[in-house]
């Protein structure tokens, strides 16, 4: 595809439900990132993949958050037993390399609302 895509664009969940958010990075991009953006705030780093390896998950707020990228392309962010404080926009980004020198391309985000 032409850019990073995410689905769904909007998700409403009842508190306690599990959700799965999908990210399709740009083909061939080695690095993939997930960020959480609360209303009025800048994006906050959640986790980083290099191909299929999850090299950093220091930003995941609790053990209810789980991310995977099993084949080194599509990634899924799963949130179990959602809470109201999980309401945010979840952004995915990809980058062709791993050095941090190049451009990081962001998807449009998934807006999660937990009722």
Partner 1 sequence: DAKTTQPPSMDCAEGRAANLPCNHSTISGNEYVYWYRQIHSQGPQYIIHGLKNNETNEMASLIITEDRKSSTLILPHATLRDTAVYYCIVRVALNTGGFKTIFGAGTRLFVKA
- Interface ranges with partner 1 (CB under 8 A): 4, 31, 33, 35, 41-45, 48, 50, 55-56, 59, 91, 93, 98-101, 103-109
- Please, what is the minimum distance in Å from the beta carbon of residue 95 to partner 1? 8
Q: How far apart are the first and last CA of the chain?
A: 33
- Please, what is the minimum distance in Å from the beta carbon of residue 81 to partner 1? 26
- Please, what is the minimum distance in Å from the beta carbon of residue 28 to partner 1? 16
Can you spell out the DSSP letters for 33-88?
A: EEEEE-TTS--EEEEEEETTEEEE-TT--STTEEEE-TTSS-EEEEESS--GGG-E
- Please, what is the minimum distance in Å from the beta carbon of residue 16 to partner 1? 27
Q: Kindly state the DSSP code that residue 16 receives in the 8-state scheme.
A: T
Residue 90 token pair = 């979840």
Closer residue to partner 1 (CB): 42 or 70: 42
Closer residue to partner 1 (CB): 3 or 16: 3
Closer residue to partner 1 (CB): 16 or 61: 61
Closer residue to partner 1 (CB): 49 or 114: 49
Whether the Cβ atoms of residue 76 and residue 23 lie closer than 8 Å to each other? yes
**Count of beta carbons in the 10 Å neighbourhood of residue 90:** 24
């Amino acid at each position: 595809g032409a850019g990073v895509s995410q689905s769904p664009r909007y998700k409403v969940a009842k508190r306690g439900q599990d959700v799965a958010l999908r990210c399709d990075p740009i083909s061939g991009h080695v690095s993939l990132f997930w960020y959480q953006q609360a209303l009025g705030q800048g994006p906050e780093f959640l986790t980083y993949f290099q191909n299929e390896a999850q090299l950093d998950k220091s930003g995941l707020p609790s053990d209810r958050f789980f991310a995977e990228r099993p084949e080194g392309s599509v990634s899924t962010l799963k949130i179990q037993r959602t809470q109201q404080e999980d309401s945010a926009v979840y952004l995915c980004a990809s980058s062709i390399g791993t050095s941090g020198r190049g451009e990081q391309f962001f998807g449009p985000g998934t807006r999660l609302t937990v009722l």
